[in-house]
Amino acid sequence: MGGETLFGRIWNLHRIKPLGGGVDLLFVDRHLVHDLEAGPRLAALAARGLPVLRPDLTFATPDHAVVTTPGRATAATAAAADGTTSAGSLLADMRRRTAAAGIKLFDLGEPGQGIVHVIGPELGLSLPGLLIVCGDSHTCTHGGLGALAFGIGSSEVEHVLATQSLRQSRPATLRLRIDGRRAPGVGAKDLMLYAIGRFGTAAARGHAIEYAGAAVVALDVEARLTLCNLSIEMGAKIGMIAPDSTVFEYIAGRHYAPKGAQWEPAVAAWSALASDADAVFDRELCVDAAAVAPQITWGTSPQDVVGIDAVVPDPDAVGDPALRRSRRAALDYMGLSPGQRLEGTPIDWVFIGSCTNGRLSDLREAAAVVRGRRVAARVNAWVVPGSENVRRAARAEGLDKIFLEAGFQWREPGCSLCLGANGELIPPGQRSVSTTNRNFVGRQGPGARTHIASPATAAAAAIAGAIADVRKLPPAQVR
């Protein structure tokens, strides 16, 4: 039979009872709720006369719909992108209903406010071995700490609020080994984009991914969070990395983490979660980190990706007729041609932020490229910290001054240009290099053209005014 996997071990620990047909009822340790879900779901629950069963295990923050305008007031919001509900009413409803239910709210301007998938780890809410859910598909991010985390739908949000449990079909398992050593200029974002490009966006459908290998172990925690964040882009709603000393050092001292006499037993329990040496996975995939260059997407799917110095592929070289049509449509939308070099393609916008790359280490990475340089005259460049704590820590290090002196906008925490739910959009036809996780048609605004990349590559593009290889930037001028 083989040993037990990290995924199987945590799943079994949370199984309340089997329901048959491969479906289990699971206990939920942490429920994170954002502004698009909190008010509407709590209102629906109240309409049914149901209380929140465990408000102490639910944590809320505004992130999706709030504006990130510099110096925003605590109530500053914009109309929601769909025009049906104002973000202001969403925020007001969130405040009122979380207070009534006894749910902890990290509000605008307060330490702890930010993108749900940034604040969970930084506050110590996300811990190894926990089962974490949120009404957002990138909840897989928290698996970078060794948690079992996944996104849920609106009706499931209500179910968790009412019962602190969830019905789930048990997925198959997939181990993605990333071995070898990364080359200079290559980060976790590049590793995962390369894997998605090689294996496809459906490669892990129906599976929980465990990331392993020397290149994964070498990553710091925030890079591991980036890796797991993109699991959903490969088709898996769960991505995990076994917790180790790197994770334990990251967690130590965080606000909600175990302390005092609880610490050593917690570390011992976390250390026992790793997959057994003889654990058997349903599938195995491998990547050589040494073969990966900085990556950039060219189309309208995360799998439409190549190395920064490569050319746009020719759809006619694809044998599958459906994929050939899809790639032609993507090139038409993006305004690109087969064989065109991506490097040197002029851009209009750069966005550094999101739950993928809005952490302090991401801002440091971008600032290291920007320092002593200036944003190209035609480029609108934004930096949006992933949380209030990230914003404050970055300011303490002077990162905000580096970006401002270079010509970036330094914004307030939130999801911002990742999906435009707060009215912040890239104009039609304009081209963006973005550290987000998705480049779908209209993702950053109707007609917007998005190239996904790492913070370093995005920063290099801002300076060059075009898609650029950070490894080739000329030396910065000392000012």
Cβ atoms within 10 A of the Cβ of 21, count? 6
- Domain boundary residue among 122, 146, 169? 169
Q: Is residue 285 part of a domain?
A: no
Q: Is residue 375 part of a domain?
A: yes
d(C-alpha 71, C-alpha 56), whole Å: 32
d(C-alpha 48, C-alpha 44), whole Å: 7
d(C-alpha 128, C-alpha 218), whole Å: 18
Domain shared by 78 and 221, yes or no: no
> Which pLDDT tens digit goes with each residue over 22-60?
999 999 999 999 999 999 999 999 999 999 999 999 999
Instruction: Provide the CB-side half-sphere exposure for 278 (13 A, CA).
Output: 3
> Which pLDDT tens digit goes with each residue over 309-362?
999 999 999 899 999 999 999 999 999 999 999 999 999 999 999 999 999 999
Domain shared by 217 and 131, yes or no: no
Q: What is the pLDDT of residue 183?
A: 94
Across residues 153-173, what is the average pLDDT?
98
d(C-alpha 439, C-alpha 355), whole Å: 15
Q: What is the pLDDT of residue 84?
A: 42
72: confidence class by pLDDT, cuts 50, 70, 90? confident
Q: Is residue 333 part of a domain?
A: yes
Domain shared by 306 and 257, yes or no: no
420: confidence class by pLDDT, cuts 50, 70, 90? confident
Residue 74 predicted with pLDDT over 60: no
Average pLDDT of the residues of the chain = 95
78: confidence class by pLDDT, cuts 50, 70, 90? very low
- Share above pLDDT 90 across residues of the chain, in percent, rounded to a whole number: 93
Domain shared by 221 and 259, yes or no: yes
Domain count, the chain: 3
Residue 75 predicted with pLDDT over 60: no
> Which pLDDT tens digit goes with each residue over 126-141?
999 999 999 999 999 9
Residue 82 predicted with pLDDT over 50: no
Q: What is the pLDDT of residue 279?
A: 97
User: What three-state secondary structure class fits 203?
Assistant: coil
d(C-alpha 37, C-alpha 20), whole Å: 30
83: confidence class by pLDDT, cuts 50, 70, 90? very low
Domain shared by 240 and 351, yes or no: no
80: confidence class by pLDDT, cuts 50, 70, 90? very low
Q: Is residue 288 part of a domain?
A: no
Domain shared by 422 and 463, yes or no: yes
Domain shared by 156 and 253, yes or no: no
CATH number of the domain enclosing 199? 3.40.1060.10
d(C-alpha 376, C-alpha 349), whole Å: 10
Domain shared by 307 and 344, yes or no: yes
Domain shared by 348 and 380, yes or no: yes
d(C-alpha 372, C-alpha 367), whole Å: 9
Q: What are phi and psi of 456, to 5 degrees?
A: -65, -45
d(C-alpha 407, C-alpha 17), whole Å: 56
Q: What is the pLDDT of residue 353?
A: 98
Across residues 446-463, what is the average pLDDT?
98
- Helices 399-406 and 360-370 meet at what angle, rounded to 10? 40
Q: What is the pLDDT of residue 474?
A: 83
Q: Which element (helix H / strand E) includes 97?
A: helix 87-101
Alpha helices in 102-238 (DSSP H): 116-123, 154-163, 188-199, 214-217, 221-229
d(C-alpha 416, C-alpha 444), whole Å: 9
Across residues 365-379, what is the average pLDDT?
97
CATH number of the domain enclosing 84? 3.30.499.10
Closest CA to 287 of 203, 212, 222, 232: 212
Q: Is residue 283 part of a domain?
A: no
Domain shared by 246 and 158, yes or no: no
Residue 87 predicted with pLDDT over 80: no
Q: Is residue 411 part of a domain?
A: yes
Phi/psi class of residue 327: alpha, beta or left (left: φ > 0; alpha: ψ in -120 to 50)?
alpha
d(C-alpha 168, C-alpha 160), whole Å: 12
Residue 1 predicted with pLDDT over 80: no
> Which pLDDT tens digit goes with each residue over 232-288?
999 999 999 999 999 999 999 999 999 999 999 999 999 999 999 999 999 999 999
Domain shared by 134 and 232, yes or no: no
- Domain boundary residue among 147, 169, 191? 169
Q: Is residue 286 part of a domain?
A: no
Please tell me the pTM assigned to this model: 0.96
Q: What is the pLDDT of residue 295?
A: 98
Q: Is residue 1 part of a domain?
A: no
For residues 288 and 156, the answer to whether their CB atoms sit within 8 Å is: no
Q: What is the extent of the structural domain holding 248?
A: 172-276
Domain shared by 181 and 162, yes or no: no
Q: What is the pLDDT of residue 155?
A: 97
Give the angle subtended at the CA of 87 by the CAs of 59 and 44, to the nearest 5°.
Answer: 55
- Domain boundary residue among 222, 245, 276? 276
Residue 475 predicted with pLDDT over 80: no
